[in-house]
Structure 1
């Protein structure tokens, strides 16, 4: 029985969307009626194509917008609890998972530890004066995608962003409000749970960023 990479990708993504956890390699092999080696080879190709991100031990850690460990954001639906891979991903989940158009996104400010939570829906951005800070320019996200996602966070204010930058020694990245974050997340992953999903090319991604008000060198060439 032939199994395509897209079928494996869909099985992983749809399981994450449904229950917040990915299927095991053995589960996939059983479901498709193939040897585990077939699934392993398919996963390797999906990693190379940037559909999946493993950790140092080869275990799946990111299948954007879903994560398999804590990246600073929990996303709670009516019956499913997810880890969001970053601020962007956490706000994207209700737009992608049609059965959960309203979720509770929770995080803490990286600078001062203040807890924050928002009801994020597909209807419009949540209220709040908090700001998102993305450390890594889009052209370099895939240099170390885990590091980049760990540093796409939400802060109490620009004051907390500056305090965190002073403490960590990082250079300032992109800072923007929750409404812009919501617009960025709203359609970025459209179609990812459907067959034949195609990741955006750099020009397409830059045009998308510009359409939600994010322009400049930081956003010029995408990374996710």
Structure 2
């Protein structure tokens, strides 16, 4: 049966197992449905903010925390490798894999490489910070753009220089260890067969639980999906 939950689960499981999203024909086979039912379901899942499709076709482009096209974040484990959309998403990939991983990226996407290691459930490079410049209430206006701006930096001074260079307003700056803890909670139910999106109310509470109080994290109270 094609539901938001069943589609989401089968897509994520396939990406983790094989490194790429299943074709719609494969999803139809897995869900005992027609390709048309799968395609209709993908459009519904996209409206639910559970997947991002290619602009002109029912084909998975992004299913958070995974990207299906090349990004500035490569997550590797002994079992395989995957692209993350951003710093937050890449930590989310690590949380879903639940094993030792490395995340290869570059500071501010400017070319100087850095590798983040998560070993025995702990981030090893605890001095790094992550910048969140886009207000969460605007995140889904262009979620691809939002994700591409959530980057890793050495320190706040480097963020200040980056913001000035790219004429992007400075947002919230968080230590990577806190974002790692946050990502584990945020993506904690993503592989559940009965997954549902966090509501706006639930998201607000999670932000509060992890000390995310900067105006960037402000959301309107709502029982609708984030």
TM-score between both structures, scaled by the size of structure 2: 0.90
Tell me what 1:57 maps to. Answer: 56
Separation (CA, whole Å) in 2 of partners of 1:112 and 1:25: 36
Tell me what 2:167 maps to. Answer: 169
Separation (CA, whole Å) in 1 of partners of 2:71 and 2:185: 21
Q: Is the 8 A contact 1:114 1:156 kept in 2?
A: no
- Report the secondary structure of 1:133's partner residue: strand
Q: Is the 8 A contact 1:92 1:186 kept in 2?
A: yes
The Cα of 1:121 is off from its aligned counterpart by 4.1
1:94 matches 2:103: no
Q: Is the 8 A contact 2:5 2:196 kept in 1?
A: no
Structure 1 segment 140-151 matched on structure 2, within 5 A: 140-151=138-149
Unmatched tracts of structure 2, length 5 or more? none
Tell me what 1:83 maps to. Answer: 83
Separation (CA, whole Å) in 2 of partners of 1:4 and 1:112: 40
The Cα of 1:123 is off from its aligned counterpart by 2.5
The Cα of 1:119 is off from its aligned counterpart by 1.2
Task: Determine which of 179, 182, 205 is the counterpart of 1:181.
Answer: 179
How many corresponding residue pairs?
221
The Cα of 1:39 is off from its aligned counterpart by 0.8
Structure 1 segment 5-20 matched on structure 2, within 5 A: 5-20=4-19
The Cα of 1:201 is off from its aligned counterpart by 1.5
Separation (CA, whole Å) in 1 of partners of 2:118 and 2:142: 28
- Report the secondary structure of 1:110's partner residue: helix
1:152 matches 2:147: no
Q: For residues 5-39 of structure 1, what are the alpha-carbon distances to aligned partners after superposition, in whole Å with 9 as ceiling and x for unaligned?
A: 42222111111122221001122223334321111
Separation (CA, whole Å) in 2 of partners of 1:122 and 1:62: 28
The Cα of 1:112 is off from its aligned counterpart by 4.1
Q: Which moved more, 1:41-50 or 1:175-184?
A: 175-184
Separation (CA, whole Å) in 1 of partners of 2:101 and 2:6: 27
